[in-house]
Amino acid sequence: MSVDALPRAARAFRETLARLEIEGEPGLGDPGAFGRRAAILAAADVLWRRRLGRLLTSEEVRQVLGVGTRQAVSDFVKRRRLLAIRGADGRLLFPAFQFSATGRPLPALEAVLAAFARAGVDELTVGSWFTGPQDLLEGRTPADWLQSGGADALVIEAARRTASELAH
């Protein structure tokens, strides 16, 4: 996947969600328009879930990490130790690829998220990057590379390169 495709895909998803909002009207509005919007939203959600793989809820992440509160999960996100993506319903979702077999966040995750944060890259683009093939990783995705025990340094370097190209 090209670097240009990452922000375009994330931007298109956000624009689709914006188009789905019914003009400040809590009711259905035009039923035909509502139906079309609902279909687009459902398709967008399915496509992103297929792209990102399994998405965990905050409750599931609490169990995986062995922490007792939602605040603890929120702290992981604020400190850029976990990637959280806001779902269409506003809830935070967490791609499962970022956890090791022992349930801890992958060691390289913090450095990767920091590189993208410095570049001002949004979470949808970061999630898409993790699941797109990277030349530096022999055409494998960063998520697959890290899950199979590939060198963290290569993923971090790939993230830095991509982040510098995407920097606002």
Residues, the chain: 168
Residue 139 has pLDDT above 70, yes or no: yes
Residue 88's pLDDT is 75
Sorted by sequence, the CB contacts under 8 Å of residue 51 that are 6+ apart come out as 127, 128, 131
Q: Chain-wide mean pLDDT for the chain?
A: 83
Per-residue pLDDT reduced to its tens digit, 90-123: 899 999 999 998 999 999 999 999 999 999 999 9
Residue with the larger pLDDT of the pair 82 and 4: 82
Q: Is 52 exposed, middle or buried (0-12, 13-18, 19+ CB in 10 A)?
A: buried
Least confident of 10-14, 95-99, 154-158: 10-14
Residue 119's pLDDT is 95
What is the rounded CA–CA span in Å between residue 145 and residue 156? Answer: 11
Highest mean pLDDT among 45-49, 84-88, 110-114: 110-114
Q: Does the model's pTM come out above 0.75?
A: no
Domain boundaries, the chain: 5-166
Give residue 86's region: left, alpha or beta (phi > 0; psi -120 to 50). Answer: beta
